[in-house]
């Protein structure tokens, strides 16, 4: 297997086809996790930053019910275009209807899919570029109540020093007392997007627990999902609070 380090080979449409082929248990579990996290979040006028959001918006559905502003950041223009297309409701965008319908059921407040879509669109205030290799990955002011990052820092390198540097930069965007909500590959070395294998840094549960603890996080909740793939061995879903 040859690894591709050049993310220009990453296509938004191919990624969505590969990882969102149909609405299945993994999607529901992801939405359940996000719903569970945001349900217990009790912050007024919270600002949220999404880092390396890719072409996806499903992680924002529950968030949009709780935070006041979302800044969405991503590295690739193709992915940014996909998310801008969702916000502008342009034709030929990915169909997220089942995700919205599922969250509407979880919230159980009688809203329909269109109302929830509009809620997400209204809460996304900026869609901007992000590069974790830069000293300042996302140009924003102040720190955030919630930083959301999913399958990004461990999914763009196989080198530990870079992985830890990315994490430190991400953590720096969180206010003290604020929250990190993060999903990540578990002990994986690569993942496939239409025949291209992108690198991953293998993260174990004790490893990420220790990184979070030594960087001042408390109240960690972590869920482990095990796969038996050759390169992809599952995922973690977690949230943790930065000490005040």
Instruction: Write out the residues near ligand SAM by the rule CB under 6 A.
Output: 7, 10, 52-54, 56, 74-76, 79, 130-133, 150-152, 155-156
Q: Could you write out the three-class secondary structure of 150-209?
A: ECCHHHCCCCHHHHHHHHHHHHCCEEEEEEEEEEEECCCCEEEECCEEEECCCCCHHHHH
- State the minimum distance, in angstroms, from the CB of residue 91 to ligand SAM: 22
Give least dist CB 153 to ligand SAM, A: 8
Question: Cα(204)–Cα(110) distance, rounded to whole angstroms?
Answer: 40
Residue closer to ligand SAM (CB basis): 10 or 163: 10
Looking at the Cβ atoms of 50 and 145, the one nearer to ligand SAM is 50
The token pair at 142 is 């102040």
- To ligand SAM, the closest distance from the beta carbon of 10 in angstroms equals 5
Query: Quick one: 54 or 178, whose CB is closer to ligand SAM?
Result: 54
Chain residue at closest Cβ approach to ligand SAM: 54
Residue 27 near residue 16 (C-beta atoms within 8 A): no
| Residue 28: both structure tokens together | 């529901």
Of 104 and 185, nearer to ligand SAM (C-beta) is: 185
Smallest gap from residue 53 Cβ to ligand SAM (A): 5
74 contacts 80 by C-beta, under 8 angstroms:
yes
């Amino acid at each position: 297997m040859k690894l591709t380090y050049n993310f220009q080979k990453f296509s938004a449409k191919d990624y969505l086809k590969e990882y969102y082929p149909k609405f299945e248990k993994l999607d529901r579990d992801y939405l359940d996790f996000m719903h569970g996290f945001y349900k217990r979040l009790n912050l007024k006028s919270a600002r949220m930053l999404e880092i390396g959001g890719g072409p996806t918006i499903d992680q924002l559905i529950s968030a949009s019910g709780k935070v006041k502003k979302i800044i969405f950041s991503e590295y690739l223009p193709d992915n940014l275009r996909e998310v801008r297309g969702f916000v502008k409701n342009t034709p030929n965008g990915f169909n997220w209807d089942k995700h919205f319908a599922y969250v509407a059921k979880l919230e159980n407040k009688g809203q329909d899919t269109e109302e929830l879509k509009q809620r997400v669109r209204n809460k996304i205030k900026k869609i901007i570029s992000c590069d974790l290799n830069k000293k300042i990955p996302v140009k924003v002011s102040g720190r955030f109540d919630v930083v959301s990052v999913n399958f990004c820092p461990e999914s763009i390198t196989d080198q530990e020093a870079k992985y830890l540097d990315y994490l430190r930069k991400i953590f720096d965007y969180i206010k003290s007392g604020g929250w990190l909500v993060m999903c990540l590959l578990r002990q994986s070395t690569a993942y496939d997007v239409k025949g291209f294998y992108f690198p991953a840094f293998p993260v174990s549960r004790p490893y990420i627990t220790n990184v979070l603890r030594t960087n001042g996080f408390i109240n960690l909740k972590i869920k482990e999902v095990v796969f038996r793939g050759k390169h992809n061995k599952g995922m973690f879903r977690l949230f943790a609070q930065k000490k005040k």
